[in-house]
Structure 1
């Protein structure tokens, strides 16, 4: 069965549902582009129709599309090549084309190696209309945001989703119960794409089943809802539950609360809040020192429940929180590693950061399991600073440098092995070399448990008992529940 989200993607802007004001503003931007010449950022939650709107607009205008995904191109050179294509295409007959950069919020700060700065130059100098698409507007650099107009696509109400589901079912000649469609719409809470997918997943014998799995969909709180819950609205226990639902790690939540709490609290409230944030920072320091991630819950208790508990009164209204807080070089390095894991494991960056990276840190702590660390570095294309961050080792040490070199050799050997003979030397010399490289790296880890036994054999210093036990416990969980931990076995 064909994917309904693709089959019923709107082909004209007027068919885009649930964001009439944003849709009209987008159309006006295109109609007046000759006058202002600015790029536009359309942003909002996943599944609200941002990319569909861009393609529908191009179809309405008869503009061909030149499209790039920021996840596939992050360096300045790649962006410059993209800009060159856009510039050269504009000279062919003088016709307009729509330049689309999807996932533009992935172009930020130093880890993109100049990509954000190059994209800022492009949007300022381009002779074609450019649409940047982002989930999180404030993850884009300030320079890039200021160079563009901004249009927000809001979450689509259940009231607007139900008619879409009804129309799709009728066109598919599928029987349905209106109450079932309403439950699907409510369960997806603003995500039209998710609602259509859930409806299609329920099709059985020409009708929509009354029960499905959409209630199990991972619905997470956005960061601004979390801030409102902790700083303005919810009691301590409810604020803690909101923190658990937020798609962020405790250290990210600490950064946000620490940066935004002065916008709401003052006087004694503010002083008491900072006491809890200081305690949270102590617990996070213990996590980094011991790799014992059970301490995360104590940090979250202080960040969410502690800060909410010192609030003297609830606040109403809207608060201008502003953009993302300043992130240190360590935070940026962690984000880069998480994004590499996410791209490989086909999960969100937040999931990689929260659920996969901690396991990798425990498994490769201080590079004790060298072979596993080499595999990780090769699998995710990590450099010395990234390996040092994950393992807790110094990036200038011979141990880390050796791992990076071994990972590069492994990557080169695999490239030759999978080249189909493209790099073959006369009389099979390259094939032999590739085989030797494979012998050096494959087959040394029969199972993760064996790898951890090797790590334990290296031993730890006094006081490492809890750390080693925790790491081994996590390792065992990975081995037993491999299917549920996407990414951990990918580099094995």
Structure 2
């Protein structure tokens, strides 16, 4: 796979994150605080930068993956001990905890245990996060430096993809690389994976290949929706859903958008939406407990459960719609969560409630950052100071 073959070996090879890497290097050297949260969108190089930095600078790296230590007792016994013991080779050490969001799910006191480890550690602790502004991390943020990794500019991604193609001796039309880069929305990993799919067993890729690939993916989604809403065979529906390679939380939005076109009987529609709601409920439980063995249930409910809710199949030739409105709502909700997190973070500094700041302060704060970055930087520095 290209993603493994062309993984950067040097910090200079990581694209679009020069500022973040410099800040991280300064953190390791100064260690004004004993921990740092590196945050940003998925696929932009947060974890990779830490690994490469450790290799280049001769640090031993103790990496705690998302599926690893997430229990209070294990944190104290495993991370706590590692933060005190010398490196195996007598050198420096970095402890990295990947995906902060999965911390503390279903375990009381786990964040407090992590803070206690940070207070006593002899080595820098690095936490990566897609969005660290959740209120449950409010106290933790006080003990950590915050370093943001930016979305990578699509032009940088385009050049990076061109470099890979040259190395692999694959002739790809420039417009294809431009479209892959733009479609990635700053996610380098996603762009390389798309390129890998397009170039598999090919020495030449044209613009038509790009359209064929992504039309096929969307056609598969429409086909899965059709099999759930039109067929009665549970095996067919479950197989169609599994072949799409999207999670149940995304698929249920497609069903929510289109079910009423097929389920004209009120009872069938009611049962169908009940299964969608149950699937969403199980998804939340999986995320909260991090018990991924439960994933079968939301997958089953959103496919076979919805399919078996109907009493008859309509003879309509339905034109299914993409859940664009729902995606906009989810995007708006994500922005509001970020605004709420920032407002709660600075509430102590401004002696006001998070809700009041979100209503009366955050819109102007956001406007200042957008229109006058220099003033926004000074204001941010003031608000982040102790």
| TM-score relative to the length of structure 1 | 0.46
Instruction: Tell me which of 11, 19, 23 is aligned to 2:9.
Output: 11
Give the length in aligned residue pairs: 260
What's the CA shift string for 1:432-464, capped at 9, x where partnerless?
xxxxxxxxxxxxxxxxxxxxxxxxxxxxxxxxx
Instruction: Tell me which of 49, 69, 75 is aligned to 1:53.
Output: 49
Q: Distance in 1 between matches of 2:46 and 2:312?
A: 42
What's the CA shift string for 1:70-115, capped at 9, x where partnerless?
4332210111122244135426565211111001111146x13432
Instruction: Tell me which of 290, 293, 300 is aligned to 2:273.
Output: 293
Change (3 A) 1:24 1:37: same
The answer (yes or no) to whether the contact 2:60–2:91 under 8 Å persists in 1 is no
What's the CA shift string for 1:231-267, capped at 9, x where partnerless?
xxxxxxxxxxxxxxx97999xxxxxxxxxxxxxxxxx
Instruction: Tell me which of 87, 91, 116 is aligned to 1:121.
Output: 116
Q: Distance in 1 between matches of 2:273 and 2:103?
A: 29
What's the CA shift string for 1:187-210, capped at 9, x where partnerless?
111111010011111114322343
Q: Tell me the residue number matched to 2:155.
A: 159
Q: Distance in 1 between matches of 2:175 and 2:181?
A: 10
Q: Distance in 2 between matches of 1:176 and 1:82?
A: 48
The answer (yes or no) to whether the contact 2:34–2:143 under 8 Å persists in 1 is yes
Look up the SS of the partner of 1:151 in the other structure.
Answer: strand
Q: Tell me the residue number matched to 1:454.
A: none
The answer (yes or no) to whether the contact 1:155–1:190 under 8 Å persists in 2 is yes
What's the offset of the Cα at 1:215?
6.7
What's the offset of the Cα at 1:333?
9.3
Instruction: Tell me which of 187, 203, 207 is aligned to 1:206.
Output: 203
Q: Distance in 2 between matches of 1:55 and 1:476?
A: 55
Which of structures 1 and 2 has the bigger CA Rg?
Answer: 1
Look up the SS of the partner of 1:138 in the other structure.
Answer: coil
Superposition pairs for residues 113-152 of structure 1, below 5 Å? 113-139=108-134, 141-152=137-148
* Superposition RMSD in Å: 3.8
What's the offset of the Cα at 1:12?
2.0
What's the CA shift string for 1:251-302, capped at 9, x where partnerless?
xxxxxxxxxxxxxxxxxxxxxxxxxxxxxxxxxxxxxxx87627989xxxxx
Structure 1: runs of 5 or more not aligned: 219-245, 251-289, 298-330, 364-469, 478-492
Structure 2 residue 68 is the aligned partner of structure 1 residue 72: yes
Higher RCO (Cα < 8 Å, 6 or more apart)? 2
Change (3 A) 1:48 1:91: closer
Change (3 A) 1:191 1:99: same
The answer (yes or no) to whether the contact 2:41–2:130 under 8 Å persists in 1 is yes
Q: Distance in 2 between matches of 1:147 and 1:473?
A: 51
Q: Tell me the residue number matched to 1:186.
A: 182
Q: Distance in 2 between matches of 1:8 and 1:178?
A: 20
Structure 2 residue 92 is the aligned partner of structure 1 residue 96: yes
| TM-score relative to the length of structure 2 | 0.58
Change (3 A) 1:181 1:78: same
Q: Tell me the residue number matched to 2:25.
A: 27
